[in-house]
Amino acid sequence: MAHRIPHAAGCVVVRNTSTQPLFLLILDQYGHWTFPKGHLDDGESSPAAAVREVHEETGITGELGAHITTIYYDVTKKGRTFRKQVDWYILYTDQTEVIPQAEEGIHEYAWMSADATEQHLGYPALVEVFGLARTLIAQPPQSDD
């Protein structure tokens, strides 16, 4: 029997201010600054899971933007290594208050500038995800005309 690849989704959360966009980072249970993400529930779409996980982990809601990319990496649990897939999206919000989900080991969060976000990210793969997100955010929306 083939083992299903664990599938997760998350968002680069961005809030525009009068001076610059700010990005939401959470400090995960392993002590790394990261973006909110989590596993898909059975039958759930990746975009729906991304929005749900952001809300569950941070209390933030907003408008789902573009799909940024999909990454794959290895995770080792109980001596077994699995390939994991994570779909990343942009989520635009105007909320400032964050409610970190302590049950998931999230006790800290920060709104950071783009440069600070890049410097604080605790996982190398997320630096690339964030670079792609910055490019997408900088592009003006496509008009339907």
Instruction: Walk me through the domains of the chain, giving residue ranges and CATH numbers.
Output: 7-138 (3.90.79.10)
pLDDT at 17: 87
Whether pLDDT at 143 is above 70: no
pLDDT at 142: 54
Q: How many CB atoms lie within 10 A of CB 77?
A: 8
> Residues 79-115: pLDDT tens digits?
989 899 999 999 999 999 999 998 888 989 999 999 9
Strand partners, 74: 83
Whether pLDDT at 23 is above 90: yes
Mean pLDDT across the stretch 9-32? Answer: 94
Mean pLDDT across the stretch 15-29? Answer: 93
Whether pLDDT at 1 is above 50: no
CB environment 21-49: b (16+ within 10 A), e (fewer) = bbbbbbbbeeeebbbbbbebeeeeebeeb
- Spatial separation of the C-alpha atoms in residues 99 and 59, rounded to whole Å: 5
- Spatial separation of the C-alpha atoms in residues 135 and 138, rounded to whole Å: 5
- Spatial separation of the C-alpha atoms in residues 125 and 121, rounded to whole Å: 9
Q: What is the pTM of this model?
A: 0.90
